[in-house]
Amino acid sequence: ERERGIFLRVLCLLAALLHGASPCPPPCHCSSDGQVVNCGGLGLSSLPPLHLLPPGSRSLLLANNKLSALGTSAFANLSSLEEMDLSNNYLDNLPGGLFRDMSNLTRLTLHNNSLTGLYRELFQSLDLSLNGLSTVPLGVLDELQSLRWLSLAGNRLHALERAAFEPLVNLQYLELGQNPWECDCNLRDFKHWIEWLLYRGGRVDAVECTLPKDLRGRDIRTVPVEMFNYCLQLDDENGDGTRAGNSGGPPCSRSNANANGDAPPGDNGEDSSPSSSGGEGTSDCVRARYRPVSVRRAIGTVVIAGVVCGIVCIMMVAAAAYGCIYASLMAKYQRELKKRQPLMGDGEADGEEREEKQISSVA
């Protein structure tokens, strides 16, 4: 029995040593294999000692805490992580390069924070729902070409620039619901981009209008494009020197990219600088002209229209040829009929003479 007790103590000591070889940052809970580190719901106002993460950890869960700020090097040397959940915290800003060392990170959840700005990182899944975002600046998504799922639901978005989302060539799922969308000229080009995303097999949830009143509660995807024709007229009027900042001009974009001097020049070749427009700040209102939803769709439409027109032309030619053939046959038939009528008349006259001869012979 004594030897048995010593053996059990040795086993306990070995178990303690093995446990110490796979540390877990307090007060977090780690899975048995060390791949999932759960630090959620602990009321943390600062990050736990992440240098104690088990080697090879793949998931770090920090949801439902009180985190309000993160340092630039908070997640340094965490290249093994593939998923991070920072939802339900008080984050209002994320420093640039925060996820620079996390080369394997593919899913980031920032649901229900207080973020008011975006940043440039590489992910496949990005959840930015229930924050305070009012715009998506141009260029901020340029490096997210591998992104497949993006949620911007429950923010303060009124309009979005189409050019800001065009780099997302692999995007398949986009959530935009629960935003105060204003379905005017500012949202026209983005509506066309949504249609292109749906055309290539992507999915978008409802984009319900809050303004104008006659479109309130209506999904912009069901709004006919003809309702935005007035925007083209306003753009044409705006192109002859009248800027949107003046009365009667089209509304300016809410994107702060123009405020940063990134506004594209107009298609009429005018300079977008304040000096060329005659007033300070008028370059903010320079609007790009309407672009087709897709070059492929435009070419496809032209090809289909050409095929239909060709078929119609062939049918018209066939009908004309049939008419000509029918007319020629009828004319030939009439000529033959006229030729036969005198012959028939001669035969009747000979028959009458024969009858008269027979009568006279009898008499």
pLDDT tens digits for range 211-265: 888 889 999 888 887 777 777 766 666 654 433 333 333 344 333 434 444 433 3
Q: Based on the structure, what is the number of domains in the chain?
A: 1
pLDDT of the residue at 111: 92
pLDDT of the residue at 160: 93
Distance CA 153, CA 192 (A): 19
pLDDT of the residue at 143: 82
Buried-state track 44-59, b at ≥16 Cβ within 10 A, e below 16: beebbebeebbeebbe
For residue 68, the SS3 value is: coil
pLDDT of the residue at 349: 53
Tokens of 119: 């940043």
* pLDDT > 80? residue 72: yes
At residue 123 the predicted structure's pLDDT band, cuts being 50, 70 and 90, is confident
For residue 244, is it within any domain?
no
pLDDT of the residue at 357: 56
Residue whose tokens read 């981009």: 193
Global pTM reads 0.58
pLDDT of the residue at 344: 54
- The model's pLDDT over 287-336, given as tens digits with 9 standing for 90+, comes to 343 344 444 556 778 888 889 999 999 999 999 999 889 888 888 888 88
Residues of the domain holding 308: 293-338
Average of per-residue pLDDT values in the chain? 76
pLDDT of the residue at 141: 87
For residue 157, is it within any domain?
no
At residue 116 the predicted structure's pLDDT band, cuts being 50, 70 and 90, is confident
Query: What is the percent of the chain with per-residue pLDDT over 70, rounded to a whole number?
Result: 69
For residue 273, is it within any domain?
no
- The model's pLDDT over 36-62, given as tens digits with 9 standing for 90+, comes to 999 999 999 999 999 899 988 999 999
For residue 131, is it within any domain?
no
Distance CA 80, CA 54 (A): 10
Average pLDDT over residues 74-103: 89
* pLDDT > 60? residue 281: no
pLDDT of the residue at 255: 39
Centroid of chain to Cα 15: 54
For residue 360, is it within any domain?
no
Average pLDDT over residues 63-76: 92
For residue 293, the SS3 value is: coil
For residue 315, is it within any domain?
yes
For residue 320, is it within any domain?
yes
Tokens of 313: 């032309």
- The model's pLDDT over 148-203, given as tens digits with 9 standing for 90+, comes to 999 999 999 999 999 999 999 999 999 999 999 998 888 888 999 999 999 989 99
For residue 346, is it within any domain?
no
Handedness of CA 11, 12, 15, 17 (dihedral sign): negative
CB neighbour list of residue 96: distance below 8 Å, 6 or more residues apart: 72, 119, 120
